[in-house]
Amino acid sequence: MRQATDLSSFQEHIRNLQAEINEGLRTLSLADRPDYLYTPVKYVLKGTGKRLRPILVHLVGETFSADPEDLLHAGLAVELLHNFTLVHDDIMDADSTRHGQPTVHEKWDESTAILAGDGIYALGQLLISRVKINTLQAIQAFNIATLMVCEGQAYDKEFEHDHNISLDQYFTMIEKKTGWLIGLCAEIGGILGDQNEEVRSHLRSYGLNLGKVFQIQDDILEVYGNEKSMGKSLGSDLVAGKQTVLTVLARELFPAEWAGYWQKIQQLEIDKALSELRGYLEEKKILQRAKELVDTYNERAREDLKSALGERRHILMEFTDMVVNRKK
Amino acid sequence: MRQATDLSSFQEHIRNLQAEINEGLRTLSLADRPDYLYTPVKYVLKGTGKRLRPILVHLVGETFSADPEDLLHAGLAVELLHNFTLVHDDIMDADSTRHGQPTVHEKWDESTAILAGDGIYALGQLLISRVKINTLQAIQAFNIATLMVCEGQAYDKEFEHDHNISLDQYFTMIEKKTGWLIGLCAEIGGILGDQNEEVRSHLRSYGLNLGKVFQIQDDILEVYGNEKSMGKSLGSDLVAGKQTVLTVLARELFPAEWAGYWQKIQQLEIDKALSELRGYLEEKKILQRAKELVDTYNERAREDLKSALGERRHILMEFTDMVVNRKK
């Protein structure tokens, strides 16, 4: 009984935070003109993201009784940073849909999307500079993380269509591309909660590990997810020659047969290829191995929470569960 | 005699600053990998720009005895901000050459250029956050200016091929696109020199006016410049349907005949069109009117210097002369 109540109050808290963040994004003080810049910026900010990153900022910050206004500003700033990278990544990866909506470069054009991304990032910078506690440390963490995310996206592009990428290289890429931004969210919660470097470092490490969980799951959902709830077509990363945990594992575990098999199923129409691939990955226990990696990093993330928060880690454990159990 | 000595010592100071800034750009602490990100970033930073913007930061800051290391960091930060906008603008405007070198998207591809621009901006953010005096004010000025530059580029794109843009709209565009970044440079010199808001505001206004001078001259050089020393083909903005002071003035001054004339010369091969256009703009005194606008804003910039710096404005007056008399 107690657990059920806790869980429902946790879920209610998450919903309240989502509403607050969406309201914050909607009421950001933006100029009306020029349309060329602000119409696509507003389009992006009206999107229906899960807002996991700003929620994480809030949950960590609340644990340390950080100032609510600081958490709102920092949460919006990381959400803008996240959206800036999505808008630009979607151009680079030629993705036409995001959360079931046309991407900016698809709805308008590439120039519009480049500039919208730049503007969103500048707005994020202005927001992060408005926090009142440890302002400069928050700003520096924000920008170091941005550079790391750029490095991660660069590895992602560099590794495209490369059939020699190892699991280690895959982890280097996802730690930067996905992990650092989530690490930043946890760390900023600690910065705004005026915690020392040791705590911050555990928080950052938590985010890096949770980011790995998140990305491995993303790769699994790309093959096993529900197209409708994902809001994008399955298999698009595979078609684009992206490195995913499943293909990298398949190559490492079955070097002799994988290349030929992969060649073969790429000839098939996408739905057929996916269904064929699902069977193969299960039969060869590659899916199982990927899920074990989720467990490993989930475990490490929980250890980090223990080191960072001790007895106060309860709500972040629930957040971690929510991320680990997500279906989209 | 005295003036000649002053001038040569001014020129030597400028050369020293350029060398210091180029050295700073060359020795920026950058990772080696991923190549996909850092090879193009290094390529951009090795470019041969005039470094006018960081020089302005130094000259203003030196007037107020600002800390030299702060000036170096802020100067590099504004140069990176400038280069980030150039790399992205070159994609949006499909420009293939800059300072006689292939642009990033031309040498590599658009994805590489988008990401290189993002990385350069993030590096600029990290640099500006390293200044020690009035750090937060410097950061906020930096990001407000970035947003204004994005707005200016948006107007530039919005106004492309629009035959109804007025001189007022043209000035709105160039004030944001070109003026704000130069205004930022002057203002940051004042921020790092710990000046009050009144002085800063005069400095910003100086930069906005100097930026207008700079852009009007750019538009004139686009038609009357020396192709070799410009490092780009003349007339490219005209071909791209950009608003320039000359075409906007021609339309405002000769509404009845301009549209037909412009249609006609656009049929010609570019060299012939330019030579025809030069004759027309001179004969109709449109060139003269544009030069009068340079004089007007040059005068306003000098008034701003007087208000901001009083008797200490000498070196900035020389800098203003240098910009006003530039041939490339």
> Could you report the per-residue pLDDT of A93-124, keeping only the tens digit for each?
999 999 889 999 999 999 999 999 999 999 99
Asked if the model's pLDDT at residue B178 lies above 50, the reply is yes
Task: Kindly state the helix (H) or strand (E) to which residue B44 belongs, with its residue range.
Answer: helix B35-45
Q: Nearest by CB to A158, from B36, B92, B158: name it.
A: B36
Residue B5 binned pLDDT confidence (cut-offs 50, 70, 90): low
For chain B, the domain total comes to: 1
- How far off is chain B from A128, nearest CA to CA, in Å? 10
Q: Which residues of A touch B38 (CB under 8 A)?
A: 154
β-sheet bridge partners, residue A97: A102
Q: B153–A115: do the CB atoms touch at under 8 Å?
A: yes
Q: Which residues of A touch B122 (CB under 8 A)?
A: 143, 146-147, 150
Asked if the model's pLDDT at residue B2 lies above 50, the reply is no
Asked if the model's pLDDT at residue B313 lies above 90, the reply is yes
Q: A110–B111: do the CB atoms touch at under 8 Å?
A: no
- How far off is chain A from B38, nearest CA to CA, in Å? 9
Q: A147–B122: do the CB atoms touch at under 8 Å?
A: yes
Interface of A with B (CB under 8 A): 31, 34-38, 88, 91-92, 110-112, 114-115, 117-119, 121-123, 125-126, 129, 135-136, 139-140, 143-144, 146-147, 150-151, 153-155, 157-158
pLDDT at A285: 98
Asked if the model's pLDDT at residue B73 lies above 60, the reply is yes
pLDDT at B327: 83
Query: What average pLDDT does range B124-146 have in this prediction?
Result: 98
Q: A140–B153: do the CB atoms touch at under 8 Å?
A: no
Which 3-state string (H, E, C) describes chain A?
Answer: CHHHHHHHHHHHHHHHHHHHHHHHHHCCCCCCCCHHHHHHHHHHHCCCCCCHHHHHHHHHHHHCCCCHHHHHHHHHHHHHHHHHHHHHHHHHCCCCEECCEECHHHHCCHHHHHHHHHHHHHHHHHHHCCCCCCHHHHHHHHHHHHHHHHHHHHHHHHHCCCCCCCHHHHHHHHHHHHHHHHHHHHHHHHHHCCCCHHHHHHHHHHHHHHHHHHHHHHHHHHHHCCHHHHCCCCCHHHHCCCCCHHHHHHHHHCHHHHHHHHHHHHCCCHHHHHHHHHHHHHHCCHHHHHHHHHHHHHHHHHHHHHHHHHHHHHHHHHHHHHHHCCCC
Per residue in A37-55, pLDDT (tens digit) is: 999 999 999 988 899 999 9
3-state secondary structure (DSSP) of residue B269: coil
φ, ψ at A280 (rounded to 5°): -60, -50
Query: How far is Cα B201 from Cα B189, in angstroms, rounded to an integer?
Result: 12
Question: A156: domain range?
Answer: 2-324
pLDDT at A1: 38
Q: Nearest by CB to B111, from A146, A151, A157: name it.
A: A157
Q: Which residues of B touch A114 (CB under 8 A)?
A: 88, 91-92, 114, 117
Query: What average pLDDT does range A199-204 have in this prediction?
Result: 98
For residue B115, the chain A residue with the least C-alpha distance is A150
Residue B227 binned pLDDT confidence (cut-offs 50, 70, 90): confident
pLDDT at B238: 84
Q: B121–A119: do the CB atoms touch at under 8 Å?
A: no
Per residue in A126-158, pLDDT (tens digit) is: 999 999 999 999 999 999 999 999 999 999 999
CA dihedral in degrees (B169, B80, B190, B149; nearest 10)? Answer: 20
Asked if the model's pLDDT at residue B4 lies above 60, the reply is no
3-state secondary structure (DSSP) of residue B33: coil
User: Where residue B263 sits, what CATH number does that domain have?
Assistant: 1.10.600.10
Q: B146–A112: do the CB atoms touch at under 8 Å?
A: no
pLDDT at B1: 38
For residue A109, the chain B residue with the least C-alpha distance is B92
Query: What average pLDDT does range B205-211 have in this prediction?
Result: 98
Query: What average pLDDT does range A172-195 have in this prediction?
Result: 98
Per residue in B98-124, pLDDT (tens digit) is: 988 999 999 999 999 999 999 999 999
Q: A121–B119: do the CB atoms touch at under 8 Å?
A: no
Q: Which residues of B touch A132 (CB under 8 A)?
A: none
Name the residue among B3, B14, B2 with its Cα closest to residue B320: B14
Q: B110–A91: do the CB atoms touch at under 8 Å?
A: yes
β-sheet bridge partners, residue B97: B102
Q: A111–B157: do the CB atoms touch at under 8 Å?
A: yes
Q: Which residues of B touch A133 (CB under 8 A)?
A: none
Q: Which residues of A touch B153 (CB under 8 A)?
A: 115
Q: Nearest by CB to B115, from A118, A144, A154: name it.
A: A154
Q: What percentage of chain A carries pLDDT values higher than 90? A: 87
Query: How far is Cα B170 from Cα B202, in angstroms, rounded to an integer?
Result: 23
Residue B235 binned pLDDT confidence (cut-offs 50, 70, 90): confident
Alpha helices in B130-242 (DSSP H): 135-159, 167-174, 180-192, 197-224, 227-230, 236-239
Query: What average pLDDT does range B78-99 have in this prediction?
Result: 95
ω into residue A34 within 30 of 0, thus cis?
A: yes
Query: What average pLDDT does range A4-9 have in this prediction?
Result: 72
Mean predicted lDDT score pLDDT of chain A: 94
pLDDT at A5: 56
Q: Nearest by CB to B158, from A35, A119, A157: name it.
A: A35
Chain A interface, mutation test: which of B28, B30, B35, B37, most A Cβ atoms within 10 Å?
B37
Asked if the model's pLDDT at residue B91 lies above 80, the reply is yes
Q: Which residues of B touch A126 (CB under 8 A)?
A: 140, 143-144, 147
Residue A180 binned pLDDT confidence (cut-offs 50, 70, 90): very high
Better-scored residue on pLDDT, A241 or B150: B150
pLDDT at A147: 98
Per residue in A246-283, pLDDT (tens digit) is: 999 999 999 999 999 999 998 999 889 999 999 999 99
Q: Which residues of A touch B119 (CB under 8 A)?
A: 147, 150-151, 154
For residue B118, the chain A residue with the least C-alpha distance is A150
**Neighbour tally for B11: CB within 10 Å:** 12
Strand B101-102 relative to strand B97-98, pairing: antiparallel
In sequence order, which residues have a C-beta less than 8 Å from that of residue B81 and are 6 or more positions away?
B121, B124, B142, B145, B146, B149, B181, B184
For residue B32, the chain A residue with the least C-alpha distance is A151
Name the residue among A84, A54, A278, A229 with its Cα closest to residue B84: A84
